Structure formats: structure tokens, C-alpha cells
Amino acid sequence: MANTTNRQIVIAARPNGKAQLSDFNIVEQAIPSPGDGEVLFRNLLISMDPYQRNLMGNASSELPPIDIGQPMSGPTVAVVEQSRNANFAVGDHVVSWSGWQEYGLSDGSDLQKIDPEAAPLSTALGVLGHTGLTAWLGVSKFLNPKPGGTFVVTAAAGSVGSVAAQLAKLRGHRVIGIAGGPEKVRYLKEDLGLDDAVDYKAPDFAEQLARALPNGLDTLFDNVGGYMFEALMPYFNHHAQIVICGTIAQYDFPDAPNGPNRLPELLKSFLYRFIEIRSFALPDHLGSHPEFLAEVGPLVSQGKIKYSEEFVDGFENIPDAFLRLFDGRNRGKLIARVGGTRARHQATP
């Protein structure tokens, strides 16, 4: 029997600190019908990313929060089920930004067709999708360090950090990854081949960091901010280059936390060490996607860039899986498989 309802996971409440299950709700609506020029697609894979915490409100963010009652936004891999748009045929696979819902409607402008034969569909949400592109932009377009220096990546076992660290390694840097727990440290050193890895959850984190950075750091790809950035500040070398890609450690804290105030120390690092900090917004750089794919696509298929994915089955399990992103329990790109049991790959409208 054809499915007639579209389930959505909506923001039920603004989190008070850490997000909780009760901040989400699952609602049902009728599957919409495409108007002239529109496409109806069914999501197969739904991405969960740390930045989505910021879209829930009460966060250290300047992104506008999603309205209460509206579904979480974000990228998905979908299959076209009905099309009134000449550019898309039923059965086409696309990346959409329809977020946490089972079906989406689009005029096509925010859809990107993908070839399901070229690479596993899930890579379009990770190593060859928005997280890989983010890593590549940071390393290739916003950092320009001399090879041979020390390149630090925080949240290095994560979906962005792991690609950034491997790209930095391929460019000839001494790459140090920071991640939580011995298994991730092993993964970074043995599987990804980084020069060293530091466990931020270990009681001797400070000592591990000092051992890993005997000559300071020349480049930092930071996904964490907060206490992690503060721990790294003393290691900034003269002319160190830094990309701030995320501040996951401070997403839950909308106000200035208790001191000591580390801002004067950072200003001093600008004044005396000439450090440079940059950031960028992914939507401003989507035009670089072909250049990114041309470089990173072959590296992935040759196994020179490894990636890790963690799948969660079932639409209703998305909120619980999402919350894992914030306690360091997951590794690699976190993706929900939602189309499995209801697959209608050749559905007719």
C-alpha cells in the first residue's frame, strides 16, 4: 500500500543547554503534491551534523533558529518520485536540503543530481558532500601553510576533521589529530596515518598535547572552539594560520562563560605572533564543488582518503542519534537510513 503521510521531526522546544529528546517532536502531514515546475522526492539518507544544534535556538550562534514546529533543515539523499520539472525524472537521485522529513518538495533550484553508480550514495552526504567540501575548502582555500609545519585538526575523527587531516597529510604537513578516547586515537594514527593523535578525554590531555607539539603549531583546523581553542593558544607559532570551522564545545552556551577571560591572551597572540584566523560560510562556496570533486573523488576511490560512516536505521531514531554528536560517542559521518523498508525506486506518480 502506498504511503500517504510525510513524517517530519520538528523543533518542539528551544534547548536549555544541551539539546534533549524532548526538544524534538515527530509530526505527520499529508505528502504534498508538486505544482508546475516542482519535484516531489523521497528521502533515503538523512544527514545529522553538529551545526544543526545551532538551528534549535538558545545556542552560541548567529544563525537564525528554526521556528518551533518546523522540521530541522539539512542535507539528504533522495529519489525523485514525481516530477513536473523537465530537469528531473522519476528515479533520479539528488542531494536535497529538505532536512529531517521523509518527503520533500522543491522547484529544483536546491537539488543536485548525483550518479548512484559513481560512488555509494552516502558519500554524497559526507566525504564527497558538504562535510568533505567544508574540509577541502578550509585546507585548500583558506589555509596556505608552508609544507613541513605542524598542522593540528580538532574533532579529527569527525566527518569534517578526518578529511581535513588527510588532505593536510597529503599536502606534506606533520598532522596531529585531537579526538576523544583511545579508539579514536588509534583510528587517527593507524587507519588515517596521522603523525600523532591526542586524546582530549584523557586525564593527561595537557601532557599529551605538550608531547605532540614540541615545536608549537603552524596551522589549526578547529571544529571545537571553547576550551579546546584555549588549550591550543599557547602553542600558536608566529604567523600561525587558523580556520575556525565549528565551535561545537560552545554551542550550548549562549552567554559569556565564567572567567578567567582568555580574550586578552588571544589579542596578544595577534599583536606579537601575527596569527591569522579565517572562517567561511559553505553556501558562499558551493561553486567550488566541481573542483573539490575533481581532486577528492579520485583520492577517495583510490583509498588515499579514507572515510568512516555510522548509519542509524529508522526515521524515528534520528533525534537520539543526533544527540550522540555532542558527547563524542560517534565516529565519522552520521547518517540515518530512512528509505529502506518503504523503498519504491520505480514508483509512479
Q: Which of 260, 283, 287, 290 binds its own copies (CB under 8 A)?
A: 260
Binding mask 22-61 for its own copies (x = CB under 8 A): --------------------------------------xx
DSSP string, 122-160: GGGGTTTSHHHHHHHHHHHHS--PPTTSEEEEESTTSHH
Query: Which of 191, 240, 248, 237 is CA-nearest to residue 214?
Result: 237
Angle between the 130-141 and 159-170 helix axes, to the nearest 10 degrees? 40
Rounded to a whole number of angstroms, the minimum distance from the CB of residue 61 to its own copies is 7
- For its own copies, give the closer residue by CB, 254 or 349: 254
Query: Which of 221, 253, 247, 220 is CA-nearest to residue 234?
Result: 220
Are the C-beta atoms of 164 and 135 separated by less than 8 Å? Answer: yes
- For its own copies, give the closer residue by CB, 67 or 284: 284
Say whether residue 268 binds its own copies (CB under 8 A). yes
Rounded to a whole number of angstroms, the minimum distance from the CB of residue 112 to its own copies is 24
Binding mask 210-229 for its own copies (x = CB under 8 A): ---------------xx--x
Binding mask 270-299 for its own copies (x = CB under 8 A): xxxxx-xxxxxx------------------
Say whether residue 311 binds its own copies (CB under 8 A). no
Q: How far apart are CA 95 and CA 118, in angstroms?
A: 14
Q: Which of 1, 2, 256, 294 binds its own copies (CB under 8 A)?
A: 256
Centroid of chain to Cα 314: 20
> Residue 139: what residue type?
V
Say whether residue 264 binds its own copies (CB under 8 A). yes
Angle between the 289-301 and 130-141 helix axes, to the nearest 10 degrees? 100
Say whether residue 18 binds its own copies (CB under 8 A). no
Query: Which of 63, 81, 82 is CA-nearest to residue 73?
Result: 63
- For its own copies, give the closer residue by CB, 36 or 255: 255
Q: How far apart are CA 159 and CA 227, in angstroms?
A: 21
Residues that bind its own copies in the complex, under the rule CB under 8 A: 60-63, 225-226, 229-230, 244-247, 250, 253, 255-268, 270-274, 276-281
